[in-house]
Amino acid sequence: MATTVLEPTRAAPRSNWRQSGAWMPVLGVGALLVWLVVVPLILLLISSVRPTGFPTDPGFTLQHYVDTYTDRRFWELAGNTAIFAVGSTLFALLIGITLAWLVERTDMPLKGLVRTMIILPMATPPVLLAIAWVMLLSPRTGEINALLSALFGFEDAVFNIYSLTGMIFVEGLSLVPSTFLILSPAFRNMDPSLEEAAMVSGAGIGTLLRRVVLPLLTPAILAAGVFLLIVGFVVFDIPGAIGLPAGIFTLSSRIYYLAHENPTGLPDFGQISAMAIFFLGGLILMAFGYQHYTRRASRFTTITGKGFRPRSFKLRGWRWPAFAGAAFYFTLAVLAPLAILLWTSFMPYQTGISADAVGLLTTDNHETFFSNRFAVRATTNSVTIALVAATVVALVSLLVSWIVVKSKAPGRKVIDILSFMPLAIPGVLIGLALIYVYLTVNFLPIYGSIWIIVIAYITTYLSFGSRTTHGVMLQIHNDLEDAARTSGAGWGRTMRRIVVPLAAPAIAAVWVWVLAHCMRELSSALMLQGRTNETLPVLLYGYWTGGEPNKAAAVGVWLILALLIVVGVWQFLTRRREA
Amino acid sequence: MTTKFLTMLSLGAVSAIALATAAHAQSMEDLVAEATDGEVVLWYESSQAEQGAQIIDAFNESYPDIEVEHVRVTGGNGLGATIIQEAQANAETASLATGGVSHLGALIERDLLMPVPEAAGIAAELMGNEYLVNTAASVYVAVWNTDAVAEDEAPTTWEDFLDPQWAGRIGTWVISAGFSNLAAEYGEEETRSLVEGFAGQEPLLYRSTFPLAQQVAAGEVDVAMGIFHTAQPPIQAGAPIAVGALDPTPMNTIWSGIVSEGANTAGAAVFLAWLVSPEGAAAYEAATNRGNAIVEGTNTSALLEGRTLSEWSYDELENYSRLMAEFNETLAAGGSSVE
């Protein structure tokens, strides 16, 4: 029978990191984070005090800070951005928590299919997702609005995508896969005897969720919340595609403007850096808040050494209604946008779904993709970058989480914050910093190659990886490692035989998440583009900015198919492991 | 440290020699000979990779021994920033850069462009100044959906955009570069008034005029102030959209300049001279839809024939930037009323 700890208990002592030989990974991870995060941060700070914003230019000024923080528009944009970020975070958490619980902890039917479908939208480049939603919910030409008008005779459009609410809706839906992946390992590792005990005591589903499930999952939910909130502050794709046309600006729109359209002809790196300090400040505050809340890690321990056995919660008569709810989410978040995307990929130009347009159907866009001589190189580059970055992020995240949560290593809080910080640095600044670093570091000639993009992605996605593995690491009781050490196992063997297997669902989730995001990431790849390191999203972006969204949609469709295979294999292996 | 110093010194010496030889070449033949012996000519430009390759293939039919490689640099401002960063680190950088006046102007300010050698034989009317060569143009035009707008309703003057019937049905680029250049001939006050009226029409504002044209094709926007070449892909695909030039016709000239730190400046000069020849301009327009307004035989020059072109000169760059910043704000304020 599993022993599950809900209330604070005397925590088992943390690992003796010096004696167990764990100092090597601690030092290694520390050095890696200094290189990946601190160096770009220093360049960012230097950039913010250079008159031109170029770090190696001469001069010193605080004018960028004065200009940024005394500008009324900045605070107006910050207000808009806060509404957008908080709204989309709450929306994503609500749906993500519900779906993660249904998939991981209940006997809802067709769970494998549901899990796959929740993760699928990750492969869709956000700019294409935003276009799809404009085509669905635009007040003038939106297919859903047209359908509702035809069915119910509405004179005016029911939905208007060009609004803050529309932006929150689409961003929230796009964040659900990430929320699901952060939370699902935590749900999976939760002992069901707690729920059973609550139900035996007469608790209903509401009480069960409020009094048992949510308190146990607080670290994972907080981790997801902080992550989503920062993403909401810095993300540009959806504010750019939906907010910008209607003049709804956010801080990321401002950064885009300063980077790409600044009237001086050069990016205003100085002001962008000064703005990034605002994001970093907010992130550090949230990171400290998270650390404060989770400092008594034993409160959240659910995996002990005494017979942990996951079991599904019986939904009984709610099985199919629960599936119907999940199916409704799929229809909104996956099927409808994907259908539009597929339709667009077979059209010669962007046009709505109609009987007249059926005659225009063509496979030209797909044929162009396969006959493009740069597509093979871009595909090879993207796959290599994604595989390497995903693997490194998954491994380093595990080590970071072990150091932060389980070890007594000095400076572990710094490591925690360092691993999280890149999330708050806009992609354009990470790109800028890496260009300077690798243009000047002669012994690592990776400027213009795919490896500089790999480093950018490792830096950027480590924050997601470490948040995800933190939640699971908090759930693993120290008794397990202590038992292994007592039996004579060293640090490496304990990690290999105890920690890694128990954290495997989270590690796999991180790997798939990073892989999918690497396959679609654009900002850094564009900034770091050289002669031979073009990626698939850069190719897709070329079509998009070159006035060929239909070809971009075709690339998007193939990207989604590729990820479908990855997710399918992942699910197959997961099931085999569970069996 | 010593190695790095020596590397920088040798790179500087090579650049200086290359610069000196290109600048002092006596004839096109000299330039071609130098270019053939030199390294690959890196060309930084914003078109798609396959479009760049298509242009280079056409160039190599005339100059098979000069190796040119296209590197796509997007976002306008990224062009100048990339070259500045590479030059500061003494790394390999472009030999030829093609972009907007403000982007290349930033390079001139930092002495990163060299005068175009006379030996290239480029016509005086194509020279913006000693560094800049007129390569193509972004011409601002009225764009409309032919299913939603009858031919006799389509805008034929700038004032037509202010017709109340277009309220909520109109769109433009979120960046007011076209309006800013319109002011050069239309007048600053008149353009200010036009932009305010345009903003009052609750326009949808797009990140680029490419998606704007697609949205006109999709019927999301019925009329728009767009760019001639960005409307061509949907037109060529058979979409129900049309374009018309208005008077005066604002445009942004796309300039090219030879980067002084480039590895093959002679090759850049030969390639540039070819780009602005009738043959090269036609190849560039065929690949990118961006044509040269001055070189005869291009679609763009035919479109602009007999029209008053409106664009601030290089010396008036300050006006262009100032008005663009002001008009961007005006448009953004108007766009927000859609919500």
Kindly state the DSSP code that residue B68 receives in the 8-state scheme. Answer: E
CA distance B107 to B171: 33
Predicted confidence band of residue A117 (pLDDT cuts 50, 70, 90): confident
Chain B residue whose CA is closest to A57:
B88
Question: What torsion do the CA atoms of A454, A445, A260, B281 make, to the nearest 10 degrees?
Answer: -120
Using an 8 Å Cβ cutoff, are A40 and A34 in contact?
no
Give bridge partners of residue B69 from the DSSP assignment: B42
Model confidence at B23: pLDDT above 60: no
Which one is predicted more confidently, A61 or A295? A61
- In this structure, the number of other CB atoms found within 10 A of the CB of residue A282 comes to 18
Model confidence at B249: pLDDT above 70: yes
Predicted confidence band of residue A304 (pLDDT cuts 50, 70, 90): low
Question: What torsion do the CA atoms of A436, A438, A440, A443 make, to the nearest 10 degrees?
Answer: 170
pLDDT of res. B75: 66
Residues in chain B within 8 Å Cβ distance of A267: 77-78, 81
CA distance A217 to A212: 9
Residues in chain A within 8 Å Cβ distance of B255: none
Helix (H) or strand (E) holding A285: helix A269-293
Predicted confidence band of residue B3 (pLDDT cuts 50, 70, 90): very low
pLDDT of res. A216: 78
pLDDT of res. A442: 67
- In this structure, the number of other CB atoms found within 10 A of the CB of residue A493 comes to 13
User: What value does the mean pLDDT take over residues B111-126?
Assistant: 95
pLDDT of res. B94: 96
Residues in chain B within 8 Å Cβ distance of A349: 214, 217-218, 233-234, 237-239
Which one is predicted more confidently, A285 or B182? B182
- Tell me the pairing of strands B96-99 and B249-259: antiparallel
CA distance A129 to A341: 8
User: What value does the mean pLDDT take over residues A550-574?
Assistant: 81
What tens digit of pLDDT does each residue of A317-352 get?
889 999 998 888 888 877 888 888 899 999 998 888
Contacts 24+ apart (CB under 8 A), A73-79: A73/A254, A74/A251, A74/A254, A74/A275, A77/A249, A77/A250, A77/A251, A77/A253, A77/A254, A78/A251, A78/A278
Using an 8 Å Cβ cutoff, are B44 and B113 in contact?
no
Strands of A262-327, DSSP E: none
Calculate how close chain A gets to B38, using CA atoms only, in Å.
Answer: 18
The per-residue DSSP string of A231-247 comes to HHHH--HHIIIIIGGGT
Calculate how close chain A gets to B86, using CA atoms only, in Å.
Answer: 7
pLDDT of res. B201: 94
Helix (H) or strand (E) holding B43: strand B41-45
pLDDT of res. A1: 34
pLDDT of res. B266: 96
Model confidence at A9: pLDDT above 80: no
Predicted confidence band of residue A20 (pLDDT cuts 50, 70, 90): low
Calculate how close chain B gets to A440, using CA atoms only, in Å.
Answer: 6
Three-class SS of residue B259? strand
The minimal CB distance from B207 to the residues A164, A244, A546 is found for: A244
A440 and B48 within 8 Å at the Cβ level: the answer is no
Residues in chain A within 8 Å Cβ distance of B220: 134, 138, 140-141
How high is the ipTM of this complex? Answer: 0.80
Phi, psi of A407 (to 5 degrees): -95, 170
Chain B residue whose CA is closest to A238:
B207
Q: Please state the pTM of the whole predicted model.
A: 0.80
Using an 8 Å Cβ cutoff, are A458 and A396 in contact?
yes
A245 and B335 within 8 Å at the Cβ level: the answer is yes
pLDDT of res. A293: 67
Question: What torsion do the CA atoms of A53, A54, A57, A61 make, to the nearest 10 degrees?
Answer: 20
Share of chain A residues as helix, strand and coil, in percent rounded to the nearest 5: 75, 0, 25
User: What value does the mean pLDDT take over residues B73-81?
Assistant: 84
Give bridge partners of residue B132 from the DSSP assignment: none
Which one is predicted more confidently, B271 or A150? B271
Three-class SS of residue A570? helix
Calculate how close chain B gets to A554, using CA atoms only, in Å.
Answer: 16
Question: What torsion do the CA atoms of A322, A328, A334, A338 make, to the nearest 10 degrees?
Answer: 140
Using an 8 Å Cβ cutoff, are A21 and A492 in contact?
yes
Least confident of A10-19, B57-66, B283-292: A10-19
To probe the interface with B, which of A54, A236, A350, A529 has the most B CB atoms within 10 Å? Answer: A350
Using an 8 Å Cβ cutoff, are A109 and A319 in contact?
yes
The minimal CB distance from B339 to the residues A162, A360, A547 is found for: A162
Q: Which two tokens stand for residue A256?
A: 């885009």
Predicted confidence band of residue A291 (pLDDT cuts 50, 70, 90): low
A259 and B75 within 8 Å at the Cβ level: the answer is yes
The minimal CB distance from B214 to the residues A246, A349, A539 is found for: A349
Return the axis-axis angle of helices A450-475 and A412-420, rounded to nearest 10°: 130
Kindly state the DSSP code that residue B257 receives in the 8-state scheme. Answer: E
Using an 8 Å Cβ cutoff, are A452 and A433 in contact?
no
Model confidence at A59: pLDDT above 50: yes
Which one is predicted more confidently, A347 or A206? A347
pLDDT of res. A11: 42
pLDDT of res. A300: 54
A245 and B334 within 8 Å at the Cβ level: the answer is no
Predicted confidence band of residue A113 (pLDDT cuts 50, 70, 90): confident
User: What value does the mean pLDDT take over residues B204-228?
Assistant: 92
Interacting residues of B207 by C-beta distance below 8 A, sequence separation 6+: A240, A241, A244, A256, B173, B174
Model confidence at A567: pLDDT above 80: no
Q: Which two tokens stand for residue B233?
A: 């892909």
The minimal CB distance from B335 to the residues A247, A262, A550 is found for: A247
Least confident of A259-268, A464-473, A527-536, B5-14: B5-14
Model confidence at A495: pLDDT above 90: no
pLDDT of res. A44: 84
What's the mean per-residue pLDDT of chain A?
82
pLDDT of res. B189: 96
What tens digit of pLDDT does each residue of A371-405 get?
888 888 899 999 999 999 999 999 999 999 988 88
Chain B residue whose CA is closest to A257:
B175
Least confident of A299-308, A368-377, B129-138: A299-308
Predicted confidence band of residue A6 (pLDDT cuts 50, 70, 90): very low
Compute chain A's Rg from CA coordinates: 24
Kindly state the DSSP code that residue B260 receives in the 8-state scheme. Answer: T
Return the axis-axis angle of helices A412-420 and A373-401, rounded to nearest 10°: 150
Longest CA–CA span in chain B (Å) reads 73
pLDDT of res. A27: 84
What tens digit of pLDDT does each residue of B297-319 get?
898 999 898 999 999 988 898 99
What tens digit of pLDDT does each residue of A32-48 get?
998 888 888 888 889 89
- Tell me the pairing of strands B204-206 and B309-310: unpaired
pLDDT of res. A7: 38
What's the mean per-residue pLDDT of chain B?
89
Please, is A362 exposed, middle or buried when counting C-beta atoms within 10 Å of its C-beta (0-12, 13-18, 19+)? middle
Least confident of A140-149, B61-70, B88-97, B139-148: A140-149
Model confidence at A164: pLDDT above 60: yes
Residues in chain B within 8 Å Cβ distance of A240: 207
- In this structure, the number of other CB atoms found within 10 A of the CB of residue A145 comes to 21
Residues in chain B within 8 Å Cβ distance of A541: 74
Model confidence at A22: pLDDT above 90: no
Q: Euclidean distance between the first and final Cα of chain B, in Å? A: 59
Predicted confidence band of residue B166 (pLDDT cuts 50, 70, 90): very high
Cis ω before A121 (30° cut-off from 0): no
CA of residue A310 relative to chain centroid, distance: 26
